[in-house]
Amino acid sequence: MIRSLVITHGRIGEELVRVAGMILGPQEGLDAMSNAHRSAQDITEAVRAWLGPAAESSPAVILVDDYGGSCATASQLACEGRKDVAVLSGVNLAMILGFLTWRDSSDHADLVTRLVAKGREAIVRLGTR
């Protein structure tokens, strides 16, 4: 099973994961982490611990809120050299729901491509102004 970790500033990620569970029911392999009160090194170590040893881990997707922020930077450092892990920024609810819907029917590379597209599709201007 492809796993996902949502890492955000504050409790945004925890809420997104909670809401996804309300919509699709309880889900395994989807976790959230906040950067609150953590240094970049602390976040990096926590991501490495979540991933586990490369030889024992399953493919993963890490979803972060802000490109270039501490969550993104720490995730990239934690995943260095890991071809089985993708880090995507700009997490939104549509991406998480897509992840949960497609992770069992897509290979890792296809899932990542679909999630990026889904995230972009979810950003639209509503109304006529």
Q: What is the CATH number of the domain that holds 78?
A: 3.40.50.510
Per-residue pLDDT at 129: 72
Per-residue pLDDT at 56: 72
Those residues whose C-beta lies under 8 Å from the C-beta of residue 67, and which sit 6 or more positions away, are: 89, 90
Note down the domain range covering 103. 3-107
pTM for this entry: 0.93
Q: Is residue 85 part of a domain?
A: yes
Q: Is residue 129 part of a domain?
A: no
Nearest to 86 by CA among 65, 111, 122: 111
pLDDT digits (tens, 9 = 90+) for 68-113: 899 999 999 999 989 999 999 999 999 999 999 999 999 999 999 9
Q: Is residue 19 part of a domain?
A: yes
Domains identified in the chain, total number: 1
